[in-house]
């Protein structure tokens, strides 16, 4: 799916991820993590990656593999490799807690095999969320 660079598109992204998960009867925790990864990447691009106001700023594709969901995400924002973004200090006391950096930290925690390429002005990311075998 293609999204414009505005926060109100988040509802459409959420609905599409929900449709995909229902169609493939995915477990609740897998659905939760897909929503989380997609929101964090999309919102990060709008707030920090210069996607705000761009038409067709973001492309998202979900595909079912035998043991995982493959997520492909691309945006036309500023060149940005999430693997190189500094992580937040998650042990800092309340008053010193930084407000930034948490979203991508969560993406790196929940997703596997994150690959980044900068191609023709696009940030292209591929990653996987494993699906645990039934009964575990």
Partner 1 sequence: MIEATQETRAGWLVVAVKGRADAETADQLESALRSALDQHAKVAADFRALAYISSAGLRAVLQAARAAQEQNREFAVCGMSDPVKKVFDMSGMHHVLTIHGELPC
| Least distance CB 66 / partner 1 (angstroms) | 23
Find the binding residues for partner 1 in span 70-89 (CB under 8 A): 88
CB 97 within 8 A of CB 85: no
Exposure string over 89-122, b if 16+ CB within 10 A, otherwise e: eeeeeeeeeeeebebbbbbbebbeebeeeeeeee
CB 123 within 8 A of CB 63: no
Residue 50 contacts partner 1 per CB under 8 A? no
Residue 130 contacts partner 1 per CB under 8 A? no
- Which residue from 3, 26, 34, 40 is in contact with partner 1, where contact means CB under 8 A? 40
Q: How many CB atoms lie within 10 A of CB 27?
A: 12
- Which residue from 50, 68, 110, 131 is in contact with partner 1, where contact means CB under 8 A? 110
Interface residues with partner 1 (CB under 8 A) are: 7-8, 10-11, 14, 28-29, 32-33, 35-36, 39-40, 43, 88, 90-95, 97, 99, 102-103, 105-106, 109-110
């Amino acid at each position: 799916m293609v999204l414009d660079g505005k926060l109100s598109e988040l509802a459409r992204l959420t609905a599409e991820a929900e449709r995909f998960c229902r169609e493939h009867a995915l477990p609740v925790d897998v659905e939760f993590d897909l929503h989380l990864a997609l929101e964090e990447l999309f919102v990060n691009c709008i707030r920090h990656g210069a996607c705000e106001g761009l038409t067709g700023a973001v492309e998202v594709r979900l595909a079912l593999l035998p043991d995982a969901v493959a997520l492909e995400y691309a945006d036309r924002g500023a060149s940005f490799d999430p693997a190189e973004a500094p992580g937040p200090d998650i042990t800092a006391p309340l008053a010193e807690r930084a407000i930034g950096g948490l979203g991508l930290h969560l993406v790196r925690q929940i997703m596997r095999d994150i690959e980044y390429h900068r191609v023709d002005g696009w940030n292209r990311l591929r990653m996987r969320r494993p699906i645990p075998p039934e009964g575990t």
